[in-house]
C-alpha cells in the first residue's frame, strides 16, 4: 500500500546520521585507526577493493583543488565517497584551508547511511597515520625530523610520530617566515624542540627523516641533498603539477614505496620521475605488499627510502567506517 511505502521510506530516513566534526574528533581518540588503515592498504594491494580514478577540480583564482575519492572494500558494509578540498588563501577569511565531508552508503542497497561533516579532518588524520606507518616500517632510528612545510599536515605528520619515536628534535623550513615562527611556537607547545632551517638543503643535511608537506609546484630538494640512510615521506605532491623532490631522487633511492603504484604513475613524485625519463620500476613497491609481508622493507641502514603518499580511497573508507561504527555504538549505549 501507499501507506506502507511511505512508512518504509520514513524508516530509511530515520537511519541516516549526520555526524558533526566535534563528535568525530572525540571518536578519533577512541579507536585504533592505524590497524584499520593498514588493513585498507593490504586489501588494496591484494586486489580486494574497487578504487576508481580520482575525481579532481583545480582552481587558479584563488588557488585551490578538490579531490573526490570513492570506492569500497570487498566484504565491507559500505561504499564511501569523500570530497576534500584545499584552498590556500582561506586564512584571509579566517577559515581552514582544508574543507570537505565523507558520505557512507549501504553497499547492498545504495541507501545513504551517514554524512560525516568533518571539514577534511579525517583526510588530514588518515594521511598522518599513513606517514606514521611508513616511518615505522622504513625509517632508521630518527636523529632529527626534517619538515618542509608549515601547514596542518606538516604538523600532524610530526605529532603522530610521538607514538613511535622518542625523537623530539625538528628542523623546519617554509617559504613564509611568519608561518615558520608560528610552527615553532605551536609545536614547541606540543613538546618538540624546533629549529628553523635556512633552506630545504639545510634541513636535509641535519635530518635522517624528511617529511615534505607543501603545495609546491617546483621541486625543493635535489638528489645531492639526500644523505645515506635517509627516509622521505613525500606527502604534498597529491595533484598533477605539484612536486617536492628533484630529478634523480627517485632513481637514487634504494626503495620507493607507493601507496598506489597506478595512482603514483599519474601524480606524485613517481609521476614526476617518469616525466624526467626514469621508467625503471625494479625499486618501486606498493605499501600494502610491504605491510602484508610480500615485499621486504629496509634491509640496510645506509639505504635511502622514499614513500610517495598521494592518498588512496581505502584510507577514507576505513577511517569513515570506523568512526561511523563507533558513533553508532555510543549512540546505542545511551
pTM attached to this predicted model: 0.91
SS3 state at 98: strand
Residues contacting 310, CB < 8 A, separation 6+: 237, 238, 258, 259, 260, 263, 264, 267, 268
**CA separation, residue 244 to residues 20, 104, 230, 275, 310 (Å):** 34, 33, 16, 14, 12
Q: Is the dihedral of CA 179, 185, 189, 195 positive or negative?
A: positive
pLDDT in tens, the chain (334 residues): 545 545 544 454 456 899 999 999 999 999 999 999 999 999 999 999 999 999 999 999 899 999 999 999 999 999 999 999 989 888 889 888 889 999 999 999 999 999 999 999 999 999 999 999 999 999 999 999 999 999 999 999 999 999 999 999 999 999 999 999 999 999 999 999 999 999 999 999 999 999 999 999 999 999 999 999 999 999 999 888 899 999 999 999 999 999 999 999 999 999 999 999 988 788 899 999 999 999 988 899 999 999 999 999 999 999 999 999 999 999 888 6
Q: Are 212 and 220 in contact (CB under 8 A)?
A: yes
List helix spans (H) across the chain: 2-15, 21-28, 33-45, 121-138, 152-159, 177-189, 200-206, 249-252, 261-264, 269-275, 287-291, 313-333
Q: Are 278 and 250 in contact (CB under 8 A)?
A: yes
**Per-residue confidence (pLDDT) for residue 112, from 0 to 100:** 96
Amino acid at each position: 500500500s501507499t501507506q506502507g511505502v511511505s512508512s518504509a521510506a520514513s524508516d530509511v530516513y530515520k537511519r541516516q546520521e549526520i555526524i558533526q566534526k566535534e563528535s568525530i574528533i572525540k571518536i578519533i581518540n577512541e579507536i585504533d585507526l592505524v590497524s584499520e588503515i593498514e588493513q585498507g592498504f593490504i586489501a588494496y594491494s591484494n586486489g580486494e577493493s574497487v578504487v576508481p580514478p580520482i575525481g579532481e577540480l583545480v582552481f587558479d583564482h584563488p588557488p585551490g583543488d578538490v579531490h573526490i575519492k570513492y570506492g569500497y572494500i570487498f566484504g565491507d558494509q559500505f561504499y564511501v565517497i569523500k570530497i576534500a578540498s584545499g584552498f590556500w588563501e582561506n586564512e584571509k577569511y579566517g577559515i581552514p584551508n582544508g574543507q570537505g565531508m565523507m558520505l557512507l552508503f549501504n553497499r547492498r542497497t545504495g541507501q545513504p547511511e551517514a554524512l560525516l561533516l568533518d571539514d577534511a579532518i579525517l583526510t588530514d588524520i588518515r594521511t598522518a597515520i599513513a606517514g606514521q606507518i611508513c616511518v615505522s616500517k622504513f625509517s632508521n632510528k630518527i636523529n632529527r625530523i626534517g619538515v618542509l612545510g608549515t601547514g596542518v599536515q606538516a604538523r600532524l605528520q610530526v605529532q603522530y610520530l610521538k607514538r613511535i619515536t622518542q625523537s623530539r628534535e625538528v628542523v623546519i623550513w617554509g617559504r613564509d617566515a611568519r608561518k615558520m615562527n608560528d610552527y615553532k611556537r605551536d609545536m614547541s607547545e606540543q613538546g618538540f624542540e624546533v629549529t628553523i632551517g635556512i633552506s630545504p638543503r639545510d634541513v636535509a643535511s641535519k635530518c635522517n627523516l624528511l617529511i615534505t608537506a607543501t603545495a609546491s609546484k617546483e621541486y625543493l630538494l635535489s638528489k645531492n641533498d639526500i644523505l645515506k640512510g635517509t627516509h622521505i615521506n613525500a606527502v604534498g605532491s597529491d595533484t598533477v603539477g605539484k612536486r617536492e623532490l628533484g630529478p634523480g631522487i627517485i632513481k637514487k633511492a634504494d626503495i620507493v614505496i607507493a601507496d598506489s603504484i597506478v595512482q603514483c604513475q599519474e601524480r606524485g613524485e613517481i609521476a614526476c620521475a617518469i616525466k624526467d625519463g626514469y621508467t625503471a620500476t625494479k625499486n618501486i613497491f606498493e605499501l600494502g605488499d610491504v605491510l602484508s609481508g610480500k615485499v621486504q622493507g629496509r634491509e640496510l641502514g645506509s639505504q635511502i627510502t622514499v614513500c610517495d603518499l598521494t592518498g588512496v580511497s581505502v584510507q577514507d573508507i576505513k577511517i569513515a567506517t570506523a568512526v561511523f561504527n563507533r558513533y553508532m555504538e555510543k549512540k546505542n549505549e545511551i
